[in-house]
C-alpha cells in the first residue's frame, strides 16, 4: 500500500426533499382537505477517525463525495425519508483544512472521533402544514433546502510516542527495523526512506510507537532534498531520538544542521525533549569512536548515548530512555490537566 498524507476532496451534502401538494380525494368524503406530506432531510457529510488505516491513499482515486437527496413528500400525509449520511473514513491523526490549506477546521486525533463537515438541507413543508382556519385549501409548498458544497484538504499527521530524526543514512530505518516489526527499505545510499514508517517497540513489557521520517539535509525548510514536509509526522511525538552516524566527518556540524532545520520548521519541534545518540558505532575503530563522542559532547554539554542496531549495543538503553521520556511527558500532561480542573483561589467569588 502506498503512503499518502495529503489529499484534496470535494464534498456536498444532500438537498432536502420537496414538500407535496396534495388533497385528500376519497369517494363519499367531501372537502377532504390538504394532505401533502413534508420532504425528508438531506444526508450529512461526516469525517470519522477509524482504526486500521495509516494513509490517505483511498482519496487519490476518489475525490468527490455527495450525500443523497432527502425523499419527497407524498399525498396521504406521507413524509419523505431522511437520506443516508456519507462518512469519510480517515486514519487517526487526520486534520481537516479549508480549501486554502491553511485554515484548520478539525483535528481528529482520537479513535472514533467524528466531525460533520457539511449539514444536509432540511426538507420542505407540504401543503398540509399551511392549513389554517381561514385557508382550508392551501396550495403552497416549500422546496427542500439545498445542501452545502466545498473543497477541503485532508492532511495526515501520524500518531506516535517517539520520533526519529537525523541526516540521511544516519541509521534511522535500521534502528526502526531492529526494535520493531516494521520493514522499512534499507540501503547504503541517501534518501532510501521516501515516506514515514511506523513501528511498535517493546521494552520491559511496555510498548510504545516510533515514527521514522525521511532524512533531512541543510536547507530542507526551503525544499532542498525531500524537504521538511514529513516533519509534521513527528509533531505529536513526546520525544525525539536524534541519531548521528559515527561515519560523519563532522558529527558536531551534523547535529547543528538538524537542530537548525527543526527550529526553522517551527511548531515547537525544536523545544521537544531530545535524546542524542551516536549510531553505527560498530563501523568505526575504537579510537575514532571516542573522538566522535568527545566532539558531540563538546557541542551538547553532556555525553551522548551510543548504539549499534546491527550488534544491538546500547539499543536497550536507548529504548528505556525513550520510554522514560514518554512516560514522564504523559505524567506531566495528566498533572497539568488535573491542575486546570481544580478551582483556584478566588474562583469561588465568581459564582
For 275-287, the three-class secondary structure string (H helix, E strand, C coil) is EEEEECHHHCCHH
CA distance to 55, 154, 156, 216, 343, per residue, from 94 (Å): 9, 7, 4, 23, 34
Is residue 65 domain-shared with residue 205, that is, in the same domain? no
Q: Which of these three, 107, 126, 156, is where a domain ends?
A: 156
pLDDT in tens, 257-311: 999 999 999 888 889 999 999 999 999 998 999 999 999 999 999 999 999 999 9
Q: Would residue 348 count as lying in a domain? A: no
* Predicted pLDDT of residue 188: 78
Q: Per-residue pLDDT for 331 more than 90? A: no
pLDDT tens for residues 34-67?
Answer: 999 999 999 999 999 999 888 999 999 999 999 9
Same-domain check for residues 166 and 315: yes
Q: Would you say residue 70 lies in a domain? A: yes
Write out the residue range of the structural domain in which residue 73 sits. Answer: 1-156
User: Is residue 349, in this structure, part of any structural domain at all?
Assistant: no
In eight-state DSSP terms, residue 302 is S
Q: Indicate whether 4 and 129 sit together in one domain.
A: yes
Question: What is residue 351's predicted lDDT score, i.e. its pLDDT?
Answer: 41
Q: Is residue 350 part of a domain?
A: no
Looking at residue 195, its pLDDT comes to 86
Q: What are the pLDDT digits (tens) for 74-91?
A: 999 999 999 999 999 999
Q: 73 and 54: one domain?
A: yes
Quote helix, strand, coil % in the chain, to nearest 5.
Answer: 25, 25, 50
Asked if the structure places residue 255 within a domain, the reply is yes
Tell how far CA 102 is from the center of its chain: 15
- CATH number for the domain spanning 119: value is 2.70.210.12
Residue 250 sits in the same domain as residue 308: yes
| Domain assignment of residue 344, yes or no | no
Give the three cell numbers for residue 150: 466545498
pTM of the model: 0.82
Structural domains of the chain, count: 2
Among candidate residues 126, 156, 186, the one where a domain is terminated? 156
Among 156, 191, 212, the domain-final residue is 156
Same domain? 152 vs 193: no
Both 31 and 113 in one domain: the answer is yes
- In sequence order, the 6+-apart residues with CB closer than 8 A to the CB of 320 are 203, 204
Q: Is 166 found in the same domain as 150?
A: no
Q: Are 131 and 193 contained in the same domain?
A: no
> Does 228 reside within a domain?
yes
DSSP-derived secondary structure for 32-96: --B-PPPPPPPPPEEEEEETT----THHHH--EEEPPPPPPPBTTTBPPPPPPPEEEEEETTEEE
pLDDT digit string, tens, across residues 99-142: 999 999 999 999 999 999 999 999 999 999 999 999 999 999 99
346 belongs to a structural domain:
no
User: Quick count: other Cβ atoms within 10 Å of Cβ 22?
Assistant: 21
272 by DSSP, 3-state: which?
A: coil
Quote the mean pLDDT of the chain. 91
pLDDT of 193 reads: 85
C-alpha–C-alpha distance, residues 327 and 238, integer Å: 9
Same-domain pairing of 184 and 281: yes
Say whether both 137 and 231 belong to one domain.
no
Q: Is 144 helix (H, G, I), strand (E, B) or coil?
A: coil
pLDDT at 180: 93
CATH number of the domain within which 290 lies: 3.40.50.300
- Which residue has better confidence, 224 or 50? 50
Per DSSP, the three-state class of 108 is: strand
**Residue 337 pLDDT > 70:** no
**Tens-place pLDDT, residues 173-192:** 999 999 999 888 888 778 88
Residues 6 or more apart from 177 whose CB is under 8 A from it? 183, 184, 186, 199, 309
Q: What percent of the chain has pLDDT over 90?
A: 74
Other C-beta atoms closer than 10 Å to the C-beta of 20 total: 26
Do 121 and 16 contact (CB within 8 A), yes or no? yes
Residues 208 and 240 in one domain: yes
Amino acid at each position: 500500500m502506498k503512503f499518502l498524507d495529503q489529499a484534496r476532496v470535494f464534498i456536498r451534502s444532500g438537498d432536502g426533499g420537496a414538500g407535496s401538494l396534495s388533497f385528500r380525494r376519497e369517494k363519499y368524503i367531501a372537502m377532504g382537505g390538504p394532505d401533502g406530506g413534508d420532504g425528508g432531510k438531506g444526508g450529512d457529510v461526516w469525517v470519522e477517525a477509524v482504526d486500521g488505516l495509516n494513509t490517505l491513499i483511498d482519496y487519490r482515486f476518489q475525490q468527490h463525495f455527495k450525500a443523497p437527496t432527502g425523499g419527497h413528500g407524498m399525498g396521504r400525509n406521507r413524509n419523505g425519508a431522511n437520506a443516508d449520511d456519507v462518512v469519510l473514513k480517515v486514519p487517526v491523526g487526520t486534520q481537516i483544512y479549508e480549501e486554502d490549506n491553511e485554515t484548520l477546521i478539525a483535528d481528529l486525533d482520537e479513535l472514533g472521533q467524528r466531525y460533520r463537515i457539511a449539514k444536509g438541507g432540511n426538507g420542505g413543508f407540504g401543503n398540509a402544514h399551511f392549513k389554517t382556519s381561514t385557508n382550508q385549501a392551501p396550495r403552497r409548498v416549500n422546496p427542500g433546502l439545498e445542501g452545502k458544497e466545498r473543497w477541503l484538504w485532508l492532511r495526515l499527521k501520524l500518531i506516535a510516542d517517539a520520533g526519529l530524526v537525523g541526516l540521511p543514512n544516519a541509521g534511522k530505518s535500521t534502528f526502526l527495523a531492529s526494535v520493531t516489526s516494521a520493514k522499512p527499505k534499507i540501503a547504503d545510499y541517501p534518501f532510501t526512506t521516501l515516506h514515514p514508517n511506523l513501528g511498535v517497540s517493546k521494552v520491559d513489557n511496555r510498548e510504545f510507537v516510533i515514527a521514522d521520517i525521511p532524512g533531512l539535509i541543510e536547507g530542507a525548510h526551503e525544499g532542498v532534498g525531500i524537504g521538511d514536509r514529513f516533519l509534521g509526522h513527528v509533531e505529536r511525538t513526546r520525544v525525539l531520538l536524534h541519531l548521528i552516524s559515527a561515519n560523519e566527518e563532522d558529527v558536531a556540524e551534523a547535529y547543528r544542521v538538524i537542530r537548525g532545520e527543526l527550529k526553522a520548521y517551527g511548531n515547537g519541534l525544536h523545544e521537544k525533549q531530545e535524546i542524542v545518540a551516536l549510531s553505527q558505532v560498530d563501523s568505526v575503530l575504537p579510537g575514532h569512536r571516542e573522538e566522535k563522542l568527545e566532539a558531540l559532547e563538546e557541542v551538547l554539554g553532556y555525553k551522548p548515548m551510543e548504539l549499534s542496531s546491527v550488534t544491538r549495543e546500547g539499543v536497550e538503553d536507548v529504548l528505556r530512555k525513550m520510554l522514560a521520556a514518554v512516560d514522564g511527558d504523559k505524567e506531566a500532561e495528566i498533572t497539568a490537566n488535573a491542575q486546570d480542573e481544580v478551582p483556584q483561589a478566588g474562583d469561588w467569588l465568581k459564582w
